[in-house]
Amino acid sequence: MSTFTRTLLTLFSALLLISCAGTKTFHELAMPGDTVAVAAGYRHHFQRDNITVTITDANGATTVYDPGEIHPDSGAPAVRAVVNLYPDPLSSWVVSDRTGVQQTPNALTYVMSNLFHNTEGDYDWWQTVVFVNLPVTMETPTQAMATGEATILIETPAGDNYETYTSTVNVVPGTGQVHHFDAISKLGARFEMEDQHMQALERVPHATLNLSGTTVPYAIQVDLSHDSDQDNGGLIGDKAYISNPVGHIKSVSWNDDGVSTRIIMMPNRDSDITDFKDFKLYLAGVGGWAVVDTKAFDINGGVVSGVTASIN
């Protein structure tokens, strides 16, 4: 197993499962210049190209990383990556929820708390983790980063999608270095993972398909149109892809002809889908998504009226 993989696994277990924001970074102790991970909880709009990170050291000096800024002491990106970590589908967290039986102590308590306090009933669970390089020298005023508790403030632009999170890290004496997330291949070769490897874990541009109505149906069919893909006169690299974030609840069948997509969704078992949030899908690979038609059915195949689809 690579050092990179072990780092993510250790990090994930240390973040108290999904959606619980960490009051301190991982690790809690770091030297100036080190890479730390901020467990930011259930964030929908944190992306490396839109967040501003403000670091305030124990003496009140500040450093502000704007989107895309380069870490002055290493040449690496100041914000290395923004990654959403999901639970193992065979974790006690998921299996306890699906069976209603505690697989490990308090597993159902964690699930119910998460659904109520963090996701508002949405079974699309994740933990947003922001990897940040600490400065060696603070910007305002220009001086060495002080030892003691430093604050890391992460913000998206002001507006309807504004999100923020604050964490702390205890800065200790010394000079650290950015983490290279080195890995060992099956043949024993060691190599450093470039930032593009970390950034390949980030989300791609996408739209969200949401369903709504007065009665939750058994199955839904949605027809969509989109910009032409690369095989039909569209841009090179454009290819439609449908992502199901709650595969433990619903099955999704879809086909695409290069300009339009048909999606059919139904529960994995009769009792699985209880909320329209469970029908949520992500639309990726191309742009210009639009809803053409929506049909909904009950378990006997009867039409359920009043169900609509929207894209945002």
Least confident of 165-174, 193-202, 294-303: 193-202
Q: Is the CB of residue 47 less than 8 Å from the CB of residue 203?
A: yes
Write the pLDDT tens digit of every residue in 56-94. Answer: 999 999 999 999 999 988 888 999 999 999 999 999 999
- The percent of residues above 90 in pLDDT, for the chain, comes to 77
Count other C-beta atoms under 10 Å from residue 193's C-beta.
Answer: 16
**pLDDT band at residue 312 under the 50/70/90 scheme:** very high
Residue 258 has what pLDDT? 97
**What three-state secondary structure class fits 260?**
strand
Write the pLDDT tens digit of every residue in 137-148. Answer: 999 999 999 999
Write the pLDDT tens digit of every residue in 98-136. Answer: 999 999 999 999 999 999 988 999 999 999 999 999 999
Write the pLDDT tens digit of every residue in 258-301. Answer: 999 999 999 998 878 999 999 999 999 999 999 999 999 999 99
Count other C-beta atoms under 10 Å from residue 298's C-beta.
Answer: 13
- Long-range CB pairs of 269-278 (<8 Å, 24+ gap) are 270/218, 270/299, 273/216, 273/218, 273/249, 274/216, 275/121, 275/216, 276/210, 276/211, 276/212, 276/213, 276/216, 277/121, 277/122, 277/123, 277/124, 278/123, 278/246, 278/249, 278/250
**pLDDT band at residue 196 under the 50/70/90 scheme:** confident
Residues 6+ apart with CB under 8 A from 88: 94
Region 216-221 average pLDDT = 97
Read off φ and ψ for residue 196, nearest 5 degrees: -65, -25
Residue 3 has what pLDDT? 45
Residue 190 has what pLDDT? 65
Residue 31 has what pLDDT? 97
Joined tokens for residue 114: 């998460």
Residue 13 has what pLDDT? 45
Nearest to 66 by CA among 82, 48, 43: 48
Nearest to 174 by CA among 216, 138, 145, 139: 145
CA dist 287 and 240 (Å) reads 9
Beta bridge partners, 140, equal: 62
Q: Is the CB of residue 132 less than 8 Å from the CB of residue 176?
A: no
What's the start-to-end Cα distance of the chain, in Å? 38
| Average pLDDT score over the chain | 90
CA distance readout (Å), 84 to 47, 128, 132, 140 = 10, 4, 15, 32
All domains of the chain, ordered by start, with CATH? 3-86+126-199 (no CATH), 206-311 (2.60.40)
Joined tokens for residue 36: 């730390």
Nearest to 137 by CA among 212, 71, 199, 233: 71
**pLDDT band at residue 6 under the 50/70/90 scheme:** very low
